[in-house]
Amino acid sequence: MKVYALSGKIGVICRDEERKAAAEFFELFKTPWEFWEAGREYAVVLSSIDPNQVPVAKLIILCSAVQLRIDARHGFSLAAADSEFLIDQKGQWLPIYGGLARLQGPGIRILNGNAGSETVGLQHSESDTNIVRLGFGLFREAELLLGEGQPAKNAAIPTLDHHIQLLRDYILGAGIPLVEIPPQPAGHGLIACLTHDVDFVGIRHHVLDHTMWGFLHRALVGSVVDLVRGRTSIRRLFRNWIAVFELPLIYLGLVRDYWDEFRRYMEIEDGLTSTFFLIPFKNKAGERVPGKFASRRAARYDIGDVPRQIAGLVERGFEVGLHAIDAWNSVDAGCRELDRIAAFTGRRARGVRVHWLCFDGYSPATLQDAGFDYDSSRGYNEAVGYRNGTAQVFRPLGLGRLLELPLHIQDTAMFLTNRMDLTEVEAWDSCLAVLENAMRFGGVMTILWHMRSLGPERFWGEFYIRLLEELKIRRAWITSAGAVVDWFRERRTVAFEECTWDGRQLKLKLSADGESARPEMVVRVHQPGRPRTGDSKEQQSYEDHLWSGQPSFEFRLA
């Protein structure tokens, strides 16, 4: 049987301006690949442009929304599609942002458009070669998703993770085994990242301001409205009313401030770790803040008001990050805000989440230049889901050090009446959908529960505790933002030095910088044609093999 030189690697052909997006795509889909080299034989060639010479491979995937010269060789013709979504053979709808083409030509339809009966994906065989023609540019989609992101109306779709799954399915469907390092630690069903934005540390800081009046209205009147709407209970209503009568006693220092919940979170998360993002400077709304209520962005506290609480967090192993004001648009401001956090924690904060999730196209480079290790501002204030189409930690295109930890679930997005306004049942279903996606595709489920959300007038603590219990049942690795980023950073250092397949045996040579990740990674070997295991929706089986950093790995196909 013929041995394909480097046949376990995907040969990628694309425009020079697509190379960064292609490289990041294959950091997420951690499988052997390289930019195509003439004279080498590949089992799989993935091309978004016309190659300089016709590639020889067992599977050729052409992905472009424009006509290529090579299309004529295979009998394909393209025209602009009316569709904005494609529909795969499993019925999954995927939005396309960079242009979609309808196809005509030989083979079977593998992707439909959502407008009528448009064909946007075809597959056929020529001699010993399988040809897949897709009516969109895969790397263009990756570039748009990792850059601009997707609108809130499509938030629930992990679009980029589905693109990875489509590519995986085409490879296995062609009878080619596949090796990858999945974004899922050994022994865990998923990764869950717990974070808390500390916008308030006490209602005592708010006297006769809009925050106090808003609290009184929601506790007294809003509770009654929520009871009528079926959104709260009699017990919570009375607890809110009691909280109103306790307010003068809090101002006098006679009753515990129910918006200071540091200790309560440490009790709830006993045995776990999470990340608290704290405000560096009080009474500062920041520059370039959008919206007519921009002045309300200013916090009435800063990290200097809670030194005892910060010491408790650090002592218990919790992470303290920066809840930035102007770091998203100014390197100098970012440095000053970092220095302020370090003055009270004794260490430089590695991570940042910008207050109100302010962000623009220059923010990643600005945050990197200020010295941040990671950012976690890419999420929605008005939706649950995937701003950048993925559950994975990724590197914004063109950057070096900074990684982005995407935000998926935010309590206020789900429950506030001027946002999603979900019931607890509806919110639970939304959280379960994110959880199920993380178990299916890997990646992380990043949760934001605000400091004041445990107490009046919200009382969202019971929901949070239930969510943590569900994560434990699902064998999640539950940890802080910094720990999650470290694990993904170590995964990024893994390189497939060699991957060969002779039809019976896979041989791998891997390398990685630094120490072995904890929890450990696995090498996942997909074998086409094996009986299904696990999720009945999946067409292929796989076997996971613990990888502790050893340089070579061999697996014999049964």
pLDDT surpasses 90 at 515: no
Closest CA to 320 of 504, 217, 197: 197
Q: Is 415 helix (H, G, I), strand (E, B) or coil?
A: helix
Element (H, E) at 72: helix 69-74
Q: What integer is the mean pLDDT of 338-363?
A: 96
Cα–Cα distance for residue pair 398/394, rounded to 1 Å: 12
Cα–Cα distance for residue pair 414/384, rounded to 1 Å: 7
pLDDT surpasses 50 at 536: no
Which residue has better confidence, 527 or 396? 396
Average pLDDT value for the chain: 92
Distances (CA, A) of 185 to 488, 524, 526: 10, 11, 17
Q: Can you give the pLDDT at residue 557?
A: 61
Domain for residue 452, yes or no?
A: yes
Q: Do 245 and 379 belong together in one domain?
A: no
Cα–Cα distance for residue pair 145/390, rounded to 1 Å: 9
Q: Do 378 and 473 belong together in one domain?
A: yes
pLDDT surpasses 70 at 210: yes
pLDDT surpasses 70 at 447: yes
Q: Is 342 exposed, middle or buried (0-12, 13-18, 19+ CB in 10 A)?
A: middle
Domain for residue 499, yes or no?
A: no
Domain count, the chain: 3
Q: What angle do CA 283, 285, 286 make, to 5 degrees?
A: 125
Which residue has better confidence, 223 or 537? 223
Q: What angle do CA 444, 330, 140 make, to 5 degrees?
A: 50
Q: What is the DSSP string of 281-305?
A: STT---SS--STTGGGG--S--GGG
Distances (CA, A) of 447 to 75, 195, 219, 275, 402: 48, 6, 25, 10, 20
> Taking each helix axis from N to C terminus, what angle separates 234-251 and 210-217, rounded to the nearest 10 degrees?
150
The domain boundary, picked from 212, 242, 258, lies at 258
Q: Is 103 helix (H, G, I), strand (E, B) or coil?
A: strand
Q: Can you give the pLDDT at residue 558?
A: 55
Cα–Cα distance for residue pair 176/42, rounded to 1 Å: 11
Longest Cα pair distance anywhere in the chain, in angstroms? 85
Q: Do 529 and 445 belong together in one domain?
A: no
Any residues with CB less than 8 A from the CB of 503 and at least 6 apart, and which? 1, 2, 557
Cα–Cα distance for residue pair 555/83, rounded to 1 Å: 43
Domain for residue 213, yes or no?
A: yes
The domain boundary, picked from 236, 258, 280, lies at 258
Q: What is the DSSP string of 343-409?
A: HHHSS---EEEEGGG---TTHHHHHHHHT-SEE---S-SS-SS-TTS-SS-BPPTT-SS-EE----E
Cα–Cα distance for residue pair 558/555, rounded to 1 Å: 9
pLDDT band (50, 70, 90) for residue 208: very high
Q: Is 455 helix (H, G, I), strand (E, B) or coil?
A: coil
The domain boundary, picked from 488, 512, 542, lies at 488
Cα–Cα distance for residue pair 20/28, rounded to 1 Å: 13
Give tens-digit pLDDT for 401-410: 999 999 999 9
Q: What integer is the mean pLDDT of 201-211?
A: 94
The DSSP secondary-structure symbol of 280 reads S
Q: Is 394 exposed, middle or buried (0-12, 13-18, 19+ CB in 10 A)?
A: buried
Q: Can you give the pLDDT at residue 432?
A: 98
Which residue has better confidence, 452 or 517? 452
Q: Do 79 and 142 belong together in one domain?
A: yes
Q: What integer is the mean pLDDT of 486-514?
A: 84
CB 368 within 8 A of CB 402: yes
pLDDT band (50, 70, 90) for residue 291: confident
pLDDT band (50, 70, 90) for residue 38: confident
pLDDT band (50, 70, 90) for residue 503: low
Domain for residue 498, yes or no?
A: no
CB 268 within 8 A of CB 465: yes
Domain for residue 169, yes or no?
A: yes
pLDDT band (50, 70, 90) for residue 547: confident
Domain for residue 497, yes or no?
A: no
Entry field: residues in the chain: 558
Domain for residue 72, yes or no?
A: yes
Q: Do 309 and 433 belong together in one domain?
A: yes
Q: What integer is the mean pLDDT of 192-199?
A: 98
Using DSSP, how many helices (H) and how many strands (E) does the chain show?
15, 26
Q: Do 138 and 250 belong together in one domain?
A: no
Q: Do 62 and 135 belong together in one domain?
A: yes
Q: Can you give the pLDDT at residue 205?
A: 94
CATH number at residue 385: 3.20.20.370
Q: Can you give the pLDDT at residue 292?
A: 82
pLDDT surpasses 60 at 533: no
* Upstream peptide bond of 457 is cis (omega within 30 degrees of 0): yes
Q: Do 324 and 442 belong together in one domain?
A: yes
Q: Can you give the pLDDT at residue 505?
A: 73
Cα–Cα distance for residue pair 437/356, rounded to 1 Å: 26
Closest CA to 521 of 65, 181, 253: 181
* Upstream peptide bond of 106 is cis (omega within 30 degrees of 0): no
Alpha helices in 442-509 (DSSP H): 461-473, 481-493
| 365: number of Cβ within 10 Å | 15
Q: What integer is the mean pLDDT of 496-517?
A: 77
CATH number at residue 38: 3.40.50
Q: What angle do CA 67, 80, 143 make, to 5 degrees?
A: 75
pLDDT band (50, 70, 90) for residue 12: very high
Q: Do 265 and 251 belong together in one domain?
A: no
Element (H, E) at 125: strand 119-126
Q: Do 44 and 135 belong together in one domain?
A: yes
Lookup result for tokens 């300089």: 52
pLDDT surpasses 80 at 422: yes
User: Can you give the residue range of the structural domain that contains 128?
Assistant: 10-181+525-554
Domain for residue 513, yes or no?
A: no
pLDDT surpasses 60 at 3: no
Give tens-digit pLDDT for 146-187: 999 999 999 999 999 999 999 999 999 998 889 999 999 999
CB 544 within 8 A of CB 523: yes
Lookup result for tokens 């307010």: 247
Q: Do 290 and 238 belong together in one domain?
A: no
The alpha carbon dihedral of 29, 31, 37, 40 has a sign of negative
The distance of Cα 83 from the centroid of its chain, to the nearest Å, equals 26
Q: What integer is the mean pLDDT of 354-381?
A: 97
Q: Do 91 and 30 belong together in one domain?
A: yes
